[in-house]
A and B are shown apart, each in its own frame.
Chain A
Amino acid sequence: MRGFWGILLKEFSHIRRDRATVFFTFMVPVLQLTIFGFAIDVTIDNIPLTVLDLDGRQESRRFVEAMAATRTFQVVERPTDAESFRRALTSGRAKVGVLIPAEYSERLLRREEAQVQVLIDGSDSQVATTALNTVNLLTTQLAFGRARVMAESMQLAAARNMEGEAAMPIEARARLLYNPDLQSSHFFVPGLIAIILQLVLLFLTNLSIVRERELGTLEQLFVTPVGRAALLFGKLTPYALMAFGELLIVLVAMSAIFGVPIHGDLGLLLLLSSMFIVTVLGMGLLISTLARTQLEAIQFAFLVMLPSVFLSGFMFPRSEMPVAIRAISYVIPATYFVEILRGLILRGADFIDLSPQVAGLAACGAVVLWLSVTRFHKQLD
């Protein structure tokens, strides 16, 4: 380990003098936390709704009120002619249109099947799915409400509750665990820790080595008796320490600003995070052995970052991915770490619960480190 301290202290001098690095390291997490914690809210509500009510009597008004009461929809327009109704949808002012026919109330009174036409803008699949589900649920409830009143009066209820009133024969009693308010920040912020650590570490370590290669100082170091291990550890340790500091900042911000409590063991969280940090250092080192210039290094780093963001399950659920894409996600270290973070922080999972993910992360880390250390020579090619 000859020269370890020399390299380590020198690296800290670089960091101290390079304001851009410090800014990048500590501002990126703040920005990302703000974006994912506040700006991106994937719970869908207030979908703009246009209503063309050709009936206009009490029954049809009740239907529209029920829709607005779900808060999933917000009535933005109430046109009186078919053309304005169509325009509201084609212009995008409304995502959902409800057309209530003129004979709606009469048909209900005559105990005939009354139909309501619901037009949903399918462009945004998430909004459309939410709208469709809400409309279906709402009409089922309204329909059942009417049926119950009828059944009550005819003494023919399919089932009765404790009070002896007519009730649904089967009722699912769902309870939301771990994130009862369904706040998207609770879902995103823990996973974000993995992305922040990887982003900052990957760029810093990889650039710190490639910069020296580009400047010619790496060649100068190769001509000295500094050991390969001392060179690697000396260069990577400062960034590992910075990443660890960053981890603590993000954890504090997560609980203080977003109110996400850590249900699991903090010690285990820090331990597994360190494992991830070491893996990412290895990835940075591996990229630095492939890239000749800093520009190449940045391009490579993006190539690694994109799948980590989109395929690791951080943004989109992995269960929804096609099999081939899902297979790729198994070789991304962030996949395991995102699951570990969510498990530990939200569900209070322990080591036994997480052992498959820990094994996956360990395997990725071992392969990455082995590859990068064998590829990094004190040699020019």
Chain B
Amino acid sequence: MNGDVVISTDRLTRRFGPVLALSDVTLDVPRAAIFGLLGPNGSGKSTLIRVLCGVLRPTEGDATVLDLNIRTQFEEIKRRIGYMSQRFSLYGDLSVRENIRFYARVYGLSSQRQDEREQAVMTLSGVGAYVDRLAGTLSGGWKQRLALACSLIHEPELLFLDEPTAGIDPVARRDLWDLLFALTHQGVTMFVTTHYMDEAERCTKVGYIDKGRLLVLGTPQALKASPQVTPSGTLRYEVACADPPAALARSRSVPAIRDATLFGITLHLLVEEGLSELQLLERIAPGDTTVSLRRIAPTLEDVFVTLSRAQGMEAA
């Protein structure tokens, strides 16, 4: 019993026939945190959420959610969590109000509390202006707000959001995140999957999952500072030059350059300290007069790329 830990998993494994969708996933999520789970498509993000929500049984391992066991107490868990899936999973042929009311009834709210909560989630999500619109006619951002409103109707302590911002515009994306922050201030814990690095940066704790294995786990700050990401004796640089793809190709043949990635019109390099800045520029962009470079801290993307490569080598 730990009042500060909301989700705790112990070597959670799930197989679909021969496919290992989750492999020995061990993590915990503190109360009122925003936990961000990242990973490529098909890496096991949705499977993990489904197992934690009690709609998929784990093959091996165990987990508690809100101090309830996911194997035996899943129906109790469902009463206290909210879930917003990847796809728009509301009823397009029902109005905004009908959708919200439907979930209020499904969660068995008393009629007085139903009115209270309907008002509260409509105000919070801002969908109140569209009460009589059919949900199917809302724009992507508003659909997600409605989905959020529905998942909050029973005041869950823990909210699972499976790619809540996939396919919505940047403004709607920022608005949704502001809403999520507002909720964590009320003590709600968030478990969010995403593809966006900027969203991951806003999380209090992040994990990176690939092929069912949790490769990285920690706060964004701790991960960026980790010696595995920027080993001692190496430095990170951002290089702006006339022909970045050519520079990338050249950097591959320099042994002192441990890693090189194209980042928009610039190049991110992980370089051994022994190589001076002048030597570095000579090697990758000879004769380029416009070239410039600056030292940078690793981004979360650097963290994930470096650590999953390292894991990949270990596995090989």
Contacts and interface: CB of A to CB of B under 8 A. Distances in A.
A208 B50 CA distance: 23
Contacts of B105: 3, 5-6, 9
Interface string A187-230: 00000000000000000000000000001110111111110000
B206 to A, nearest CB: 23
A380 B56 contact: yes
B192 to A, nearest CB: 16
Interface residues of A, number: 25
Contacts of A280: none
B98 A13 contact: yes
Contact of B107 (A18, A220, A224): A224
A223 B53 contact: yes
Q: Does more than half of chain A's interface fall in helix, strand or loop, or is it mixed?
A: helix
A217 B56 CA distance: 16
A10 B98 CA distance: 8
A7 interface: yes
By size class, the interface of chain B is: 20 to 34
Interface string B19-62: 00000000000000000000000000000001001111100000
B54 to A, nearest CB: 8
Interface stretch (B89-97, B247-255, B296-304): B89-97
Contacts of A216: 85-89
Contacts of A225: 75, 78-79, 106-108
B103 interface: yes
Contacts of A93: none
Contacts, number: 74
Interface string B275-287: 0000000000000
A10 B88 CA distance: 17
B56 to A, nearest CB: 5
B81 interface: yes
Contact of B89 (A3, A217, A379): A217
A115 B104 CA distance: 87
Contacts of B86: 216
Interface in A207-264: 215-217, 219-226
Contact of B102 (A6, A222, A378): A6
Nearest to A16: B93
B56 A379 contact: yes
B83 A2 contact: no
Contacts of B56: 379-380
A379 B106 contact: no
A366 B50 CA distance: 33
Contacts of A13: 91, 93-94, 98
Query: Which 9 interchain pairs have the tightest Cβ spacing?
Result: A6-B105, A216-B89, A223-B83, A3-B106, A220-B89, A216-B87, A225-B79, A2-B108, A6-B106
Given A10-B94, A224-B107, 18 more contacts: A3-B106, A6-B104, A9-B105, A10-B91, A13-B94, A17-B94, A215-B87, A217-B91, A220-B83, A223-B81, A223-B83, A224-B78, A224-B106, A225-B78, A225-B79, A225-B107, A225-B108, A380-B56
